[in-house]
């Protein structure tokens, strides 16, 4: 006979499995970077004191953004479920394994996307909701199908990936801030940063992408020259782009020094990869990219914090 303890243990195991599948389907850890960029944009768009209503507005913005990003991730995996089954690194995802049925994924993804967009529209403002919806549409309906058609998919995919700061900035600053052009500096940073980041991933997993029929640069040019060239070009461009907030009056000289130092180190990692594309140099560039962005955004936020007592 099954005792209460056994039943409780089975229930907990099932709950953990469901949570693990939901986390994988929504790419919860990856979306943490999305929320970080959104929060940074919100902070830079807000010019008054940080009081309870502002904190609540940030919370609403992050929750709505997380829902939309989660919906986009599920819909992306729904559209790529057959390709995911062909790649060892993604074959264990809920859809390829059958732990999540395609029709359920479609409904869940659409539900998250609609709920998130509506939540932003009613709890924050229509500008933030519009930017979030644009990001989702570009990601699911432009970037996802383009992966099978052209190596330019990386550049196209960098557009929705660079929009989260604009969601946050639009949520706190409104249309006047967006029209000022200042938020687009942060958009440019994320756009340029993504190319070396994804070139490293493309080289590490080039075998998987070839099996799935994805036309990445690492597949169409097995020599690695185009991958290395693009990674180096965009990493070099990131040096002035990352410093640009100081030139535009968004941040000060302390941030400029911090951004320049970080970007030069990141460029050095791209140089190592460009000199000899290998799994080791690609992983070095990938790790550097993952460390780089939080440190850069953290430095930008810290530099623009109001003085104590202000």
Same domain, 25 and 76: yes
Please list the alpha-helical segments (H only) found in the chain.
Answer: 4-26, 28-45, 52-79, 81-86, 94-97, 102-123, 126-138, 144-146, 153-161, 164-180, 183-204, 206-212, 217-220, 225-247, 253-275, 279-303
137 and 234, same structural domain? Answer: no
Name the least confident of 97-106, 107-116, 169-178, 285-294.
Answer: 169-178
Q: Looking at the structure, do residues 102 and 215 belong to the same domain, yes or no? A: no
Residue where the block lists tokens 């190319």: 195
Residues 259 and 185 in one domain: yes
102-116 core/surface letters (b: 16 or more CB in 10 A; e: else): eeebeebbeebbeeb
Q: How far apart are CA 288 and CA 25, in angstroms?
A: 26
Residue 43 covered by a domain: yes
Residue 39's domain comprises 20-147
CA distances from 13 to 19, 70, 113, 163, 281 (A): 10, 23, 28, 37, 39
Q: Could you tell me if residue 258 is inside a domain?
A: yes
153 found inside a domain: no
188 with 274, same domain: the answer is yes
The domain boundary, picked from 147, 164, 191, lies at 147
Residues 254 and 300 in one domain: yes
**154 in a structural domain:** no
**Amino acid 176: pLDDT:** 78
Domain shared by 194 and 283, yes or no: yes
Residue-averaged pLDDT of the chain: 91
Per-residue confidence band for 194, with pLDDT thresholds at 50, 70 and 90:
very high
Q: Measure the CA–CA gap between 198 and 255, rounded to whole angstroms.
A: 26
Query: Is residue 9 a part of any domain in this protein?
Result: no
Instruction: Give per-residue pLDDT as tens, 24-64.
Output: 888 888 899 999 999 999 999 887 777 778 889 999 999 99
Quote the radius of gyration of the chain (alpha carbons, Å): 21
CATH of the domain at 244: 1.20.120
* Residue that finishes a domain, picked among 88, 123, 147: 147
Q: Is residue 237 part of a domain?
A: yes
Shared domain for 41 and 95, answered yes or no, is: yes
Nearest to 241 by CA among 287, 193, 289: 193
Cα separation, 2 vs 149, whole angstroms: 55
Average confidence (pLDDT) over 141-153: 94
38, 116: one domain: yes
Q: What is the DSSP string of 169-205?
A: HHHHHHHHHHHHSTHHHHHHHHHHHHHHHHHHHHHHT
d(CA 287, CA 83): 26
Entry pTM: 0.92
For residue 156, tell me if it sits in a domain: no
Which positions ≥6 away from 189 have C-beta within 8 Å? 162, 238, 241, 242, 244, 245, 296
Question: What's the pLDDT at 1?
Answer: 47
Q: Do 131 and 177 touch, CB atoms closer than 8 A?
A: no
Tell me the pLDDT band of 14, cut-offs 50, 70 and 90: low
Does 162 fall in a domain? Answer: no
pLDDT in tens, 223-251: 889 999 999 999 999 999 999 999 988 99
Residues 143 and 185 in one domain: no
Q: Residue 253, Cβ neighbours under 10 Å: how many?
A: 9
Number of domains observed in the structure of the chain: 2
pLDDT band of residue 16 (cuts 50, 70, 90) is confident
């Amino acid at each position: 006979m099954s005792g209460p303890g056994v039943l409780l243990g089975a229930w907990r195991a099932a709950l953990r499995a469901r949570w693990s599948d939901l986390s994988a389907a929504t790419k919860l850890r990856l979306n943490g970077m999305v929320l970080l960029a959104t929060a940074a944009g919100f902070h830079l768009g807000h010019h008054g004191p940080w009081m309870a209503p502002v904190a609540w507005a940030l919370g609403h913005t992050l929750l709505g953004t997380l829902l939309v990003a989660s919906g986009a991730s599920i819909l992306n995996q729904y559209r790529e479920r057959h390709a995911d089954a062909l790649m060892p690194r993604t074959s264990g995802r809920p859809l390829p394994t059958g732990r999540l049925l395609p029709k359920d994924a479609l409904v869940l993804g659409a539900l998250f996307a609609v709920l998130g967009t509506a939540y932003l529209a009613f709890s924050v403002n229509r500008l933030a909701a519009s930017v979030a919806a644009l990001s989702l549409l570009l990601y699911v309906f432009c970037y996802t199908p383009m992966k099978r058609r052209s190596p330019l998919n990386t550049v196209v995919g960098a557009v929705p990936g660079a929009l989260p700061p604009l969601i946050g900035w639009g949520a706190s600053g409104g249309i006047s801030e967006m029209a000022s052009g200042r938020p687009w500096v942060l958009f440019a940073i994320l756009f340029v940063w993504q190319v070396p980041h994804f070139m490293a991933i493309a080289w590490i997993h080039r075998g998987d992408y070839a099996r799935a029929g994805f036309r990445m640069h690492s597949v169409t040019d097995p020599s690695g020259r185009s991958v290395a060239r693009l990674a180096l070009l965009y990493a070099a461009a990131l040096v002035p782009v990352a410093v640009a907030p100081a030139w535009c009056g968004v941040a000060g000289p302390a941030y400029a020094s911090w951004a320049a130092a970080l970007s030069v180190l990141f460029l050095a990692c791209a140089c190592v990869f460009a000199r000899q594309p290998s799994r080791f140099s690609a992983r070095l560039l990938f790790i550097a990219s993952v460390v780089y962005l939080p440190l850069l955004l953290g430095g930008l936020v810290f530099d623009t914090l109001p003085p104590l007592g202000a």
